[in-house]
Amino acid sequence: MTIISSEELVKFRDALQDNDEALETIEVIEECNGNLVEAMDIVMINAGMEPVRGDDDWIDFDNIAKGLRNFICDPAFKDLVVNDAFALALAYLLTKTDHPAAFLILVLLYVVRKGINHFCGQEQAN
């Protein structure tokens, strides 16, 4: 289970304050007590998407992130994330995929929480 703290949500809210969809997604995460799995379920259903399930019937963030790995591990994207330029990181993902912003915000939060360098290093080893 991936939990985003209140402090982390404040940081993201500040960075994404000009994006109404991002703010709505952050509210969903808050309503789920920071639980990204629960929030992703709600966001995906609201967007008309089928949640990606793992073996334990929970949303499998690792597989979702792996599907976006080429973009997430791109050095330009990694630099944006490392420098907390989350609005620009979201804009980057929006230009590279056709996924809804709410979905991409949750993936971004997951990768940040996991650690982008850890995620990308781990994926390259597999």
How far is it, in rounded angstroms, from Cα 118 to Cα 28? 26
Q: Of 113, 57, 56, whose CA–CA distance to 81 is shortest?
A: 113
pLDDT at position 59, please?
A: 59
What percent of the chain shows pLDDT beyond 90? 50
Residue 73, CB half-sphere, CA atoms under 13 Å: how many? 15
How far is it, in rounded angstroms, from Cα 100 to Cα 47? 7
* 27-86 confidence digits (pLDDT tens): 999 999 999 888 988 888 887 877 666 555 455 677 778 889 999 999 999 999 999 999
pTM: 0.84
103: left (phi over 0), alpha (psi -120 to 50) or beta: alpha
